[in-house]
Amino acid sequence: MATKEPGHLLSGIRNRTGKVILEYVFLNHTRCDILDQTRVVDSEPRSVGDCPIWNINLWNNAEQKDSQEMILKPVAMFENPFFHSPHKLVMCDVWVSMETPSDFNTRVGCTKTMNRLDFDPVTGYCPEKAREPWFGIEQEYYVINDEGIPCSYDPEKFNYDTLVMYNHVGHPHNKNVGLERELSSSHFLACLYAGVKIGGRNRENGPSQWEYQIGPCEGVAIGDHLYMSRYILHRLAETFGVRVSFRPAPLPGVRTIAGGHLNFSTVQMREEGGTRYIMHAIEMLSKSHQQELFKCYDPSPDSENTKRMESQNTEHWIPKVEEFTFGVGLKRSTTVRIPKLVDMDGRGYFEDRRPGSNMDPYAAADVLVRACILGDFL
Ligand code: ADP
Ligand code: MN
Ligand code: MN
Ligand code: MN
Ligand code: MN
């Protein structure tokens, strides 16, 4: 199968009307489901501000009533890899009214927190060391079948506690690897086309497991880019006749777990001698109430990310829930890791390895900054 160029079958058709297709992308109360609805406007929006506010009926909202009419406010605009330019993808957040965000709209809180990082001449709080927060997220996922099981999962044949598939090519332990790589490659191209800040990808360790990286993005943009990248992957998976799962423990009990490492830096951490600021942030993080943080790293109602971290045979790969540890280099069981190159350079960023692959990036970025910079959880 040739690499699928992102794009609709008929996308070469000349658009005689000059009208532009906008695919609105938004979340529901789960903060995991991604929904879309498409509309047509008369001309190409120059920026997200040109995209009209819209309304939508959302089911199973937080009040658990059957459905409620909500308002979609466009917050970020991307090129549309499915219809091609000038058509757009429009990330929206969800409001109950023009003034009141929905209770699952974590973007609003995240924006407020990021704004607190600006120097305040009145209180004198938050000096330069906190400026320009950058985030990068390593998004792991599984390619799954209709039953929700990783496509190539075959416990009769393989012992997943001993198999290592990380970074491997042409591997016999996954008959599905060709299709999966095509999906991953198409996703890569589609994200680049859209302007979603994808930075890399790799095959992961589990059966039919892959990873890509988003970032670095400044502030709240990390959420816009990560959710849009998930949307594009779901859409491409439809075309391939498979599904993708961002659940952190799709098959409890076996080593099929998926994380979403959260990488972070401020401008001072990236400048010469930045390690000092990295160490300070990690110290602040270690003194914070870990349970508060951890809650914000997992939007699932049944603490599925905790199951990931407590699962068997994973001591070497994932941190413990209750224990805060940090280290340089390949200590991948640590809570917070400083990459070896960062240690060598004396500047850069650190990663918190606790968020699950299902993380809500707005909530996770928000709580990390509040813990390690603003000290809200001391
Ligand atoms: P790992 O070695 O943990 O597997 P990856 O290469 O998968 O690392 O991911 C590294 C992540 O760090 C990427 O998401 C990237 O965007 C992010 N990143 C790189 N530099 C910075 C930085 N200065 N600040 C924040 N995040 C960064
Ligand atoms: Mn309708
Ligand atoms: Mn990685
Ligand atoms: Mn990984
Ligand atoms: Mn990592």
DSSP 8-state assignment for residue 160: T
Angle among Cα 198, 118, 71 to the nearest 5 degrees reads 60
Ligand that comes closest to the CA of residue 38: 2
What is the whole-number distance in angstroms between the Cα of residue 368 and the centre of ligand 3? 19
> What is residue 252's predicted lDDT score, i.e. its pLDDT?
60
131, 132, 138, 352, best to mutate for ligand 1 pocket (most atoms within 8 Å of CB): 138
22, 45 Cβ separation under 8 angstroms: yes
Q: Model pTM greater than 0.80?
A: yes
140, 167, 202, 263, best to mutate for ligand 1 pocket (most atoms within 8 Å of CB): 263
135, 197, 213, 345, best to mutate for ligand 1 pocket (most atoms within 8 Å of CB): 213
Does ligand 1 come within 6 angstroms of the Cβ of 138?
Answer: yes
> What is residue 313's predicted lDDT score, i.e. its pLDDT?
52
Rounded distance, CA 195 to CA 324, Å?
Answer: 36
Report the atom number in ligand 1 closest to the C-alpha of 261: 3
Ligand that comes closest to the CA of residue 352: 5
Indicate the helix (H) or strand (E) that contains 329: none
> What is residue 319's predicted lDDT score, i.e. its pLDDT?
74
Does ligand 1 come within 6 angstroms of the Cβ of 216?
Answer: yes
Does ligand 1 come within 6 angstroms of the Cβ of 260?
Answer: no
Does ligand 1 come within 6 angstroms of the Cβ of 219?
Answer: no
> What is residue 161's predicted lDDT score, i.e. its pLDDT?
76
Rounded distance, CA 225 to CA 231, Å?
Answer: 10
What is the whole-number distance in angstroms between the Cα of residue 139 and the centre of ligand 3? 8
Does ligand 1 come within 6 angstroms of the Cβ of 136?
Answer: yes
The residue contributing the CA closest to ligand 1 atom 4 is 138
Ligand that comes closest to the CA of residue 37: 2
Report the atom number in ligand 1 closest to the C-alpha of 211: 7
Angle among Cα 307, 310, 315 to the nearest 5 degrees reads 140
> What is residue 16's predicted lDDT score, i.e. its pLDDT?
80
**251-276 confidence digits (pLDDT tens):** 765 666 899 999 999 999 999 999 99
Does ligand 1 come within 6 angstroms of the Cβ of 200?
Answer: yes
Does ligand 1 come within 6 angstroms of the Cβ of 264?
Answer: yes
Rounded distance, CA 130 to CA 22, Å?
Answer: 36
Q: What is the pLDDT along the chain (378 residues), one digit of tens a residue?
A: 445 555 566 766 777 888 999 999 999 999 999 999 999 999 999 999 999 999 999 886 656 667 889 999 999 999 999 998 899 999 999 999 999 999 999 999 999 999 888 755 555 555 555 689 999 999 999 999 988 889 988 888 888 777 888 898 887 678 889 999 999 999 999 999 999 999 999 999 888 999 999 999 999 999 999 999 999 999 999 999 999 999 998 876 566 689 999 999 999 999 999 999 999 999 999 999 988 898 999 999 888 888 888 765 555 567 777 788 888 876 667 889 999 999 999 999 999 999 999 999 999 999 999 999 988 999
Indicate the helix (H) or strand (E) that contains 78: strand 67-79
> What is residue 2's predicted lDDT score, i.e. its pLDDT?
46
Rounded distance, CA 24 to CA 89, Å?
Answer: 6
How many whole angstroms from its chain centre is CA 159?
29
> What is residue 160's predicted lDDT score, i.e. its pLDDT?
79
Report the atom number in ligand 1 closest to the C-alpha of 202: 7
What is the whole-number distance in angstroms between the Cα of residue 221 and the centre of ligand 1? 15
